[in-house]
Structures are given as structure tokens and as C-alpha cells.
Chains A and B, each alone.
Chain A
Amino acid sequence: KNQVEQSPQSLIILEGKNCTLQCNYTVSPFSNLRWYKQDTGRGPVSLTIMTFSENTKSNGRYTATLDADTKQSSLHITASQLSDSASYICVVTATYTGTASKLTFGTGTRLQVTL
């Protein structure tokens, strides 16, 4: 069964501090791994997308890593801001044929950045 597990479930940090969110998956055949940010009451917004051959990808203060051998990914947030308060969701895609695919979402990490 395809699964995506994220940790921690929730996190509170002070503004300006760094943090790292974890994602472990058992999805096959693996196609790509995405990190999304979801503000309350809004749809998720893409942060990064990584394929099998990519180890790291950055988007501003967000840096994602991928270890396809251990099936682990992390999202590192540098110099956190109050606007980073949101849920961060890890999504893994399995592609079965040329176009047919299935996405498995993690339950997300709820991040709260405080003063």
C-alpha cells in the first residue's frame, strides 16, 4: 500500500529560526515528490518538485532534499517568517503508464511561527 508519513505532526518555532520537516514514503513506481504549502482555508501551493535523479532543490528560503534509496525527503525552512505559518504537505506521485498516475499525500506538518 502506498503511504506517505510526515513528521512532526505540528511544530512551533520563533521567528527567525530554522526548521526541518520530514517525509518518509513507500510509493512505487516512484515518479516525483512534491512539497506544498497550504494556508488555512486555501488550496495548496507548490514549493518544490523533485524527480528520482534530484537530491536537492531550493525555492527561496525553502530547500528540499530527496534520498530515493531510503525513500526519505526533508523540507528545510531558513530564517522563518510569520507568513510561513501553514501546513506543509509532502506528495509522492506514482506513474503506472505514460499518463496514468496516482498521487499519495501526507497528512502534513502544521507549522506555527511566533514572535
Chain B
Amino acid sequence: ETGVTQSPTHLIKTRGQQVTLRCSSQSGHNTVSWYQQALGQGPQFIFQYYREEENGRGNFPPRFSGLQFPNYSSELNVNALELDDSALYLCASSLIGSINSPLHFGNGTRLTVT
């Protein structure tokens, strides 16, 4: 059983640029969700994908978008980067339909916007 893996582990971008972060779900999981965690804060829910469609979204602007692929891997895209987008971005996978299914998190991508 493989865990959740995220790439890259660290990334530095300039304000205004676009970034794509990637996530491979744990085998057997069909749902992926993304979170933004600022330093010293708890994670903030960005959105969740199931069957390649977004089925839940937090309070993030449209420049945060995502994709889920048939193999359940996922991408988080952020356009027009702002300094406040600097954070740890976490991906988590789970098995929808099982209310007691825990979220399995990756170790995140640390994004720095300068």
C-alpha cells in the first residue's frame, strides 16, 4: 500500500506567476482534497474532488483550481500568485462513502512567493 505523495517538496515563485502542485493518492482511495496551511495555523480547506469533479470548496478565490485524474492523482493550480499564497499546501486522500474513513495526508509542498 503506497501512501500519499506530493511534489515538489519545496517551490519558490514570483508574485504574478502560476504554479502547479501534484499529488498521488493512496491506493484504493477515490477522493482527494487540498489544504493551505500558513505558518503556525491550522490547515484551511481549499476543495475536494470525487469522480474528477469538485464536490466541496472552501473560501478560496477562483484562481485556485484543481484537477483529479482517472487514476485519482490530482493537481492544484494557483494563478496570479500573491505574497499571501506562501504556505504549506497539503493533499489528502480518502475513500468516500465511508464516514469513518480517515484522511491520509501527504507531507506537503512548501510554496514561497517572493
Most chain A beta-carbon contacts within 10 A, residue among B56, B100, B107, B108: B56
Is B42 a contact partner of A34 (Cβ separation < 8 A)? no
Is A105 a contact partner of B43 (Cβ separation < 8 A)? yes
- Contact flag A51-B99 (CB < 8 Å), given A100-B55, A102-B58: yes
Is A32 a contact partner of B99 (Cβ separation < 8 A)? yes
Distance between A110 CB and nearest chain B CB, rounded to angstroms:
8
Is B100 a contact partner of A51 (Cβ separation < 8 A)? yes
Q: Which residues of B contact A103 (CB under 8 A)?
A: 33, 45
Q: A104 in the interface, Cβ–Cβ < 8 Å?
A: yes
Q: A60 in the interface, Cβ–Cβ < 8 Å?
A: no
Which residue of A has the minimal Cβ distance to B91? A43
Distance between A114 CB and nearest chain B CB, rounded to angstroms:
20
Distance between B88 CB and nearest chain A CB, rounded to angstroms:
8
Is A34 a contact partner of B107 (Cβ separation < 8 A)? no
**Chain A at the B interface: SS class:** strand
Which residue of B has the minimal Cβ distance to A105? B42
Chain B residues near A (Cβ < 8 Å): 4, 33, 35, 40-45, 48, 50, 55-58, 90, 92, 96-97, 99-100, 102-108
Q: A21 in the interface, Cβ–Cβ < 8 Å?
A: no
Interface size classification for chain A: 20 to 34
Q: List 9 A-B contacts (CB under 8 A).
A: A32-B99, A34-B102, A43-B107, A44-B43, A45-B105, A89-B43, A96-B56, A102-B45, A104-B45
Q: Give the complex CA separation of A31 and B107 in angstroms.
A: 26
Is B105 a contact partner of A105 (Cβ separation < 8 A)? no
Is A43 a contact partner of B108 (Cβ separation < 8 A)? yes
Q: Which residues of B contact A36 (CB under 8 A)?
A: 105
Is A43 a contact partner of B90 (Cβ separation < 8 A)? yes
Which residue of B has the minimal Cβ distance to A50? B100
- Contact flag A44-B56 (CB < 8 Å), given A51-B99, A99-B96, A105-B45: no
Which residue of A has the minimal Cβ distance to B110? A41
Which residue of A has the minimal Cβ distance to B50? A99
Q: Mark A14-52, 1 if CB is under 8 A from B, else 0.
A: 000000000000000001101010000111111001010
